[in-house]
Chain A
């Protein structure tokens, strides 16, 4: 049943061709307190792709994620989401655009005064979805993240990993066309991190949702790139012949600049000395 939640009606997408990009950054720059945080960032993420953002802390990854959702505006450059320039949108237009975007925040950002059910159903309640239908969809979303038993709990009663899973359930409940994961495994133990990565992979391989994912754990990034989700056994399986997932690409940021944009194989074969040191 959880899989019923995920297959998406692609006819609803404005971007008709699967080869057209969902996210396009063109020469995007932003400065905070006279310090350049991002400088001339240009990249694109195509339909169905998962773009993993790597880089040292303070490199501007979270800022880039917020820019992609229109939560902050760049000082210069253009950001196209679903083919529309969000840098020129009014706040009301951005709210409409965000209905097609799910976001998982670094610290989950669950509403602490609402129960898990109300957190996950937040968007449905805002859209006046009938209570019975909303409850059913919350149960489906929580089943997807294997957290049905926590439906009546409050965020303060959950562990860090459980909060991230609730946050993922909240992000996917409206069947978004784009998911932004801001360090979903940050601060979690390796076992819980793997559980979260499995959920990200499940979303990628079952629903083929376009996504951007920030991670500080290279292990998580390569797990995503070298495995696929097996729906029958509900487990991750290594791709045959040490292969890599073609829809997963990497973007590496350092000090506000892109130092790498390409596939997994291109990344591991890169001769860039800084990149080699970072990956070692």
Chain B
């Protein structure tokens, strides 16, 4: 690997941030002018949303289950096992549902976007698209962005619901709790601010997944090895960004709503 001077390294990174920002802005703005590729949006919604449903449901279910199992053990020490539903619901809706769904989708879809667009880039299909008079950002990136934003929102709701159900199953069958108590405790624990916080995070995560995945795909260089590198980078960068932005959004929401 050739040595790069600090100046060149800094220039490369600033250039990458600039390119990413331009791509993200174009992807958003394209939706407000013609042509709009709605068929591609629906196709991506099917691939991203419906295709990820089993993964997200399984992840949510077992996260809720293990959360109930672990928290009940700790709560038992305080004689507060009846609060299990409360803890599971709050954790799932505010934090684990949005973050884990985002991370799972990053693993599944940011990688898919980077590899698909990366393969198109190295085989000159992106150039061919431009040569045929089509804006590749409008045709490839914008549909993926909007499809991810819409579908991650609903997938997070599914993950939250299935997670709470998983917690209920464990609480009732393994911990001997009353189902009614569990759900009542869950329901009472959630406030408007929690729901808003839990459903705001997926918007940011979806934006990160789609734009980072597409950015690395559209900037792939170096043949099949480059496609592999772009895929890995897309997953790593989007996952890290999701966790960082999760913290920032949490802090912002606590600042606004006080919880």
Contacts and interface: CB of A to CB of B under 8 A. Distances in A.
Given A101-B131, A126-B134, A106 B124 contact: yes
Interface in A130-160: none
A91 B23 CA distance: 14
Interface string A101-114: 10101110111100
A66 interface: yes
B42 to A, nearest CB: 16
A112 to B, nearest CB: 7
Nearest to B119: A112
Nearest to B122: A107
A109 B123 contact: yes
A123 interface: yes
A222 interface: no
Contacts of B134: 95, 122, 126
B36 interface: no
B127 interface: yes
Interface size band for A: 20 to 34
Contacts of B132: 98, 122-123, 126, 170
Interface in A3-39: none
Contacts of A91: 135
A211 interface: no
Contact of A95 (B123, B124, B133): B133
A109 B130 contact: no
A98 B133 contact: yes
Interface of A is mostly: mixed
A71 B125 CA distance: 12
Contacts of B128: 103, 105, 109-111
Contacts, number: 49
B133 A109 contact: no
Interface in B87-138: 120, 123-125, 127-135
A107 B123 contact: yes
Contact of A107 (B124, B130, B131, B133): B124
A110 B128 CA distance: 8
Nearest to A127: B133
Nearest to A167: B128
Contacts of A122: 132, 134
Contacts of B130: 71, 95, 98
Interface string B12-37: 00000000000000000000000100
Interface string A59-100: 000000010010100000000000000000001100110110
B123 A126 contact: no
Contacts of B127: 66, 71, 105, 109
A69 B132 CA distance: 10
A126 B131 contact: no
Contacts of A170: 132
A165 to B, nearest CB: 15
A81 B9 CA distance: 37
A101 B133 CA distance: 9
A91 B130 CA distance: 10
Given A69-B131, A111-B128, A123-B133, 11 more contacts: A66-B127, A91-B135, A95-B130, A95-B135, A96-B133, A98-B132, A105-B127, A112-B125, A122-B132, A126-B134, A170-B132
Interface of A: 66, 69, 71, 91-92, 95-96, 98-99, 101, 103, 105-107, 109-112, 122-123, 126, 170
15 contacts: A66-B127, A71-B130, A71-B131, A92-B135, A95-B133, A98-B131, A99-B133, A103-B131, A105-B124, A106-B124, A109-B124, A110-B128, A126-B133, A126-B134, A170-B132
Q: Which 10 A-B pairs have the closest CB atoms?
A: A109-B128, A109-B124, A103-B131, A95-B133, A98-B133, A105-B124, A99-B133, A123-B132, A109-B125, A71-B127
